[in-house]
Amino acid sequence: MTSHIKFQVKQLIRISYDFLLRCIFHILSVGPIPTHIAFIMDGNRRYARKNNIGLKDRYRPGFLALMSRVKHCYELGVKYITIFAFSLDNLRRQPEEIQRLMELLREKIEVFLENDGFIKKYGVRLYFVGNLTVLGEDIHAAANRLMEETANNTTTYLLVCVGYTSTYEMVHAFEESIHLGKENRIIELEDIEKQMYMSIAPKPDILIRSSGETRLSNFLLWQTEFSLLYCPSALWPELGLWHMVWALLNYQRHYAYFQKKMKN
């Protein structure tokens, strides 16, 4: 009997807590809202180890967390979300793990292509950013199809960085600028910026990296000069609404500073 009551009290506390967070979220939505939030989804492996999740399902909790965070952001009015799925460096991990990630990616692309409830509801345009040949032919083709299917959407954007590293992006952009540059013409900053893969979006206002790591790990080095960095210790699947509230509060507190910096 007492354990039953204890359970109910716990439930009640949890529901009140969620309700409270939602209220705070609503209050914050009256203030300035970032246009672009980028995520480094770190800590999936540690989370799986902590919770005895096998290799097969290692990335599933992380995917659920991702969808939940993305929806909250879109509902709040954030237009662009960028996620660091896996870098070129990640590909040096165990092949079995890469294969799992690829399978999950393929499965999710197929779900999006077949049942576009999420895409429709939020008017999402999907971009895969980076050297997509690392995906292999099948997944590359599916990714291209998904990009084409959503190409007319303009409400929100989801940028999925795969086979991406910042240094690779820069080299690619420099090469393109030189290639496109006319003879005897000095290459300007804008020429290079235009050739960056990420030029499809404004620079991120906030970069969140989970699991307490405070490195950028070759992600958006060019684009984060004025971004607010937030590195909560929560592992990626544990990153919750509370962390988003905290990031938003910090953003709003420093909003005047960011505005000034961005203009200069």
Binding site for ligand NAG (CB under 6 A): 116, 119-120, 123, 131, 133-134, 149-150, 152-153, 155
Q: Is 255 exposed, middle or buried (0-12, 13-18, 19+ CB in 10 A)?
A: middle
Distance CA 146, CA 158 (A): 12
Selected catalytic residue, list 42, 57, 116, 205: 42
DSSP-derived secondary structure letter, 188:
P
Q: Look at the block and give the residue holding tokens 């790990």.
A: 217
Establish whether 42 is a catalytic residue. Answer: yes
Which is nearer to ligand NAG, 31 or 136 (by Cβ)?
136
Distance CA 160, CA 84 (A): 6
Task: Using DSSP, state whether 207 is helix, strand or coil.
Answer: strand
Which is nearer to ligand NAG, 16 or 155 (by Cβ)?
155
Which is nearer to ligand NAG, 149 or 238 (by Cβ)?
149
- Stated as kind and residue range, the H or E segment containing 206 is strand 206-209
Q: Phi then psi for 7, rounded to 5 degrees? A: -60, -45
Which is nearer to ligand NAG, 134 or 201 (by Cβ)?
134
Please, what is the minimum distance in Å from the beta carbon of residue 153 to ligand NAG? Answer: 4
Please, what is the minimum distance in Å from the beta carbon of residue 215 to ligand NAG? Answer: 24
Which is nearer to ligand NAG, 94 or 133 (by Cβ)?
133
CA-closest candidate to residue 205, choices 243, 240, 247: 247
Please, what is the minimum distance in Å from the beta carbon of residue 91 to ligand NAG? Answer: 8
Please, what is the minimum distance in Å from the beta carbon of residue 241 to ligand NAG? Answer: 25
Confirm if 70 and 107 have CB atoms less than 8 A apart: no
Alpha helices in the chain (DSSP H): 2-28, 44-50, 60-76, 95-114, 117-122, 137-149, 166-180, 189-195, 241-253, 255-263
Please, what is the minimum distance in Å from the beta carbon of residue 210 to ligand NAG? Answer: 27
Question: Catalytic site residues?
Answer: 42
